[in-house]
Amino acid sequence: MKFEILVDRKLDERTLESLLGVWNSKLRNLPPTAPVASEAVPPGSAPTVSSPAGSLDPSPFDPPAFARQTEFPFPDPVPAAGKGAAPDPAPSVPGGRFPAGSRVVIDLRGVTFALPHGTVSVLEFGRFVKSQGVLPVLLVPESAQVQSYLDRVDFFRQAADIFEFSNFSMEGVRRKASSDVLLEITPIRQSKDIHYIVGRVRGQARRILEKHLGYTENDISRFIVALSEICQNIIEHSEDTGYVAIQKYFYKEKLGRNVAMIAVTDLGVGMRRSLYPRLGERFGVEWNDVTAIRQAFEHGVSRHDDPGRGNGLRCVRELVEAWSGKITIRSGTARVNRIPGWAYPGRAIERELAEFPGTQIFLTLPQAGTAALAHEE
């Protein structure tokens, strides 16, 4: 069996939802015993993944197709008193029912713009597809500018371990000299590598935050420590490998300032399962993905009973809020968003999303002084 997913225009933080939407629609249409099929999808029948705002706004930051929720602070979760919680089941991720030899073609040929949040999402989706016994095939963007960008951020080098390329050759792909505006997509695979990787993250994040965003030394140091803990969590908590990527970008629309975009993702057990041993029985039937994200996000809860652990994500949230930045955390079937006034509107909490393993954290940090500017407005 073979089917295509056509990605339209750009790769951003909503790319994963779009890919999963088409994937799940194909799953729902499979018969109970789908025959093995090798024929390609007829021309013109490939489902199209469109940007949330359609194709009218040339900005890479299209407004999502849902209403803005301005109040972000969550009420304290109330445990289900007296209710015991059943052992937390393994996540029922979609997939696993495609016949042997199935292939999914991810068509990026029409993509004209890419951001770190979208590039790592494509990589994680490819890893997920492969884990379901389906071969992911990639059609790379036709835009020479986008190809150059993907080459520069090491997307092709990472994708070569996951995808079969259909219209691209790795010949000519070479690691470029280091840059002070980005950290290439960096895999986090083994605990023995974590000190080297964290060192790279610290060094490059520091350069970007200091040179291009104008943050103070104290703010940079606090943020770097917190970000380093989040990267280490991929090895210690997720039980999986993951990616980290950072890029400076000039956000012309609505802001007119530099921003730093940071993506940290994995395909591990996710927050709900990771925190279940500590909190599952306490919350009982109310233990779910949203509750788990909130506990880590707001209260710094870790699966380790250690006062010094679990503060990374909470510290990042506090700093991002103080700087009027944007933060999105997706895990399982939920997303929690902190959306500042300068960003396009969206919901603070998104529930009942398509199940996807692991945790995906996307940060957008604006240039120093944005919080004061927003306050004046």
Copy the structure tokens of residue 116.
């770190």
Distances (CA, A) of 75 to 45, 295, 327, 335, 349: 46, 11, 19, 16, 12
CA atoms of 19 and 125, how far apart (whole Å): 8
pLDDT attached to residue 30: 77
pLDDT attached to residue 98: 79
One DSSP character per residue, 233-246 reads HHHHTSSS-EEEEE
| Three-state secondary structure call for residue 173 | coil
| CATH code of the domain made up of 1-52+84-177 | 3.30.750.24
Please state the pTM of the whole predicted model: 0.81
pLDDT attached to residue 39: 39
Q: Which residue has the tokens 């999986």?
A: 240
Class of domain 179-377: alpha beta
Which of 113, 145, 105 is closest to 9 using CA atoms? 113
Q: What are phi and psi of 223, to 5 degrees?
A: -65, -40
| Three-state secondary structure call for residue 103 | strand
Characterize the bridge pairing of strands 349-350 and 334-338: antiparallel
Residue span(s) of the chain under CATH 3.30.750.24 come to: 1-52+84-177
pLDDT attached to residue 105: 95
Alpha helices by DSSP H, the chain: 15-28, 116-131, 144-152, 155-159, 194-211, 217-236, 270-283, 289-299, 311-322, 370-376
Q: Would you write out the chain's pLDDT as a tens digit for each of its 377 residues?
A: 888 999 989 999 999 999 999 999 888 887 765 444 433 444 444 444 444 333 223 333 333 332 223 232 333 333 433 344 444 554 444 444 778 889 999 999 999 999 999 999 999 999 999 998 999 999 999 999 999 999 999 999 999 999 999 888 777 666 665 688 999 999 988 777 788 888 889 999 999 999 999 999 999 999 998 888 888 888 776 677 899 999 999 998 878 999 999 999 999 999 999 999 889 899 999 999 999 999 988 887 876 555 555 467 888 999 999 999 999 999 999 999 999 999 989 999 999 999 999 999 999 999 998 865 554 44
pLDDT attached to residue 37: 42
Which of 92, 70, 30, 59 is closest to 354 using CA atoms? 92
pLDDT attached to residue 250: 93
H or E, element range at 349: strand 349-350
Q: Which residues of 48-57 are buried (b: 16+ CB within 10 A; e: fewer)?
A: ebebebeeee
Residue span(s) of the chain under CATH 3.30.565.10 come to: 179-377
Q: What are phi and psi of 264, to 5 degrees?
A: -130, 115
CA atoms of 328 and 346, how far apart (whole Å): 11
pLDDT attached to residue 229: 85
